[in-house]
Amino acid sequence: MKEQLNIFGLEKITVAESIDLTISSMKEYGSKHKNWAAAWSWGKDSTTVVTLITQLICTGQIPKPDTFTIFAADTRMELPPLWASSKVITEQLEARGVEVKIVTAPVDDRFLVYILGRGVPPPSNRFRWCTGQIKVEPMEAALKSHLFKSDEKILMLTGVRLGESSIRDQRINVSCSKDGAECGQGWYQEGLKNDLCSTLAPILHWRVCNVWDWLKIFAPMEKYGGWDTQILADAYGGDEAEELNARTGCIGCPLASKDKALDNVIKIPRWNYLTPLKKLKPIYTEMRKPQYRLRKPGGQKRKDGKLAKNQQRMGPLSLAARRQFLQEILEIQNEINIKAREQERPEIILINDDELKAINTMIENKVFPNGWDGDEPLASVPLDKMYSDGSVMKRLFY
């Protein structure tokens, strides 16, 4: 296992010591708020927060709030082991009186619906539309709706930890003394008087090995709540999750150079039937090619009458391409679920009935992104090159 820098000294901090610091943090700041909430991404850090805080409340080790609401972000693109883990833990949370609200983007805005229905190409580093649309915006809307129902500030708990990101660490170092908070007590930010919530990172001081010790050893023990958290490790690489130091993401993420999280999962025998998911990433790559997309023919003008920049840019997927890729993705889903039934393993749903209906309706209605009408030529059709200054470079071959 790789060593991790411990900012509290040379001696390693234990799980028990980490929990004690979290308890001190919650006693200090939790008592200032009647209502608590937490954002749960189903990952290792936020899962540690929701299970640990719930257990501390149930055992009376920290003050019990009037309400504790957990907002679970369901992007519909999570790794199956992570999804399976969330279902079990949600049942355990609700059995303890914790309200869990599943937050999902509207059907038309979901990842595969947006691509196959509206025709928007898969996200790229130049056009990264996915994170905000399927995760951040739905969560912000859910939180705002919840916060407006309270007359007092809600305490929002996060799974932020030092050591997860160097950029994040620098931001914390600059602001960790705000409101008199110490790093060991959690990163508490009270904010302005008219803000809707204060935030607290109760496991800020936890090392990654502490997180895994909690999820794989302590949390499953009856005295610590009997949480079914061990399955979560499968989403990070099974028994070697801590050594791999893996991070999860969307299935076949088009923005990642390698699908490491999925690679780690399918190495585990009980999840090997998910191997066909490896076909998704090549499909997203194929979607970006000119023969599947439309192109502006040139001559487009702005509102001021001048020629627009990037005259012949590539745009959305053609209707024929959407039908083709929809069929390919449904075949992957079917292939996996046949094996799942044979092996008595969880089935997956890449595209559910509501999403399939939305996709087919958009295709039938010839829906295109704003500024496109579907009459544009395919991007693979040769055109004279047109520039924004109005000049044209003729093709050499016809």
- Summarised one tens digit per residue, pLDDT across range 67-83 is 999 999 999 999 998 99
pLDDT of 86 higher than 90: yes
pLDDT of 12 higher than 50: yes
pLDDT of 289 higher than 50: yes
The pLDDT confidence band at residue 144, using thresholds 50, 70 and 90, is confident
Partners of residue 101 on adjacent β-strands: 71
* DSSP three-state, residue 190: coil
- The per-residue pLDDT for 178 is 42
**Type and span of the H or E element at 386:** strand 385-386
Q: Which residue, among 240, 251, 183, has the nearest Cα to 212 in the 3D structure? A: 240
Give the pLDDT mean for 353-378. 95
- The per-residue pLDDT for 193 is 45
Do residues 235 and 30 touch, judged by C-beta distance below 8 A?
no
pLDDT of 365 higher than 60: yes
pLDDT of 110 higher than 50: yes
pLDDT of 232 higher than 70: yes
Q: Does residue 280 or residue 164 have the better pLDDT?
A: 280
- The per-residue pLDDT for 58 is 96
The pLDDT confidence band at residue 169, using thresholds 50, 70 and 90, is very low
- The per-residue pLDDT for 126 is 83
- The per-residue pLDDT for 261 is 85
Pinpoint the alpha helices (H) of 200-279. Answer: 208-213, 241-244, 260-266
d(CA 65, CA 56): 12
d(CA 12, CA 197): 33
CB contact set of 106 (below 8 Å; sequence gap of 6+): 138
Query: Tokens representing 177?
Result: 């003394």
Of how many residues is the chain composed? 398
pLDDT tens for residues 22-55? 999 999 999 889 999 999 999 999 999 999 999 9
Q: Domains in the chain and their CATH numbers?
A: 15-240 (3.40.50.620)
Interior CA angle at 99 toward 98 and 100, to 5°?
Answer: 115
The pLDDT confidence band at residue 8, using thresholds 50, 70 and 90, is very low
pLDDT tens for residues 292-351? 999 988 656 666 666 666 777 899 999 999 999 999 999 999 999 999 999 999 999 999
- The per-residue pLDDT for 13 is 80
- In this structure, what DSSP letter does residue 180 have? G
Q: Which residue, among 134, 365, 147, has the nearest Cα to 250 in the 3D structure? A: 134
Mean pLDDT of the chain: 84
d(CA 287, CA 121): 7
* DSSP three-state, residue 211: helix
> In this structure, are strands 67-73 and 99-103 parallel, antiparallel, or unpaired?
parallel
pLDDT of 280 higher than 70: yes
* DSSP three-state, residue 70: strand
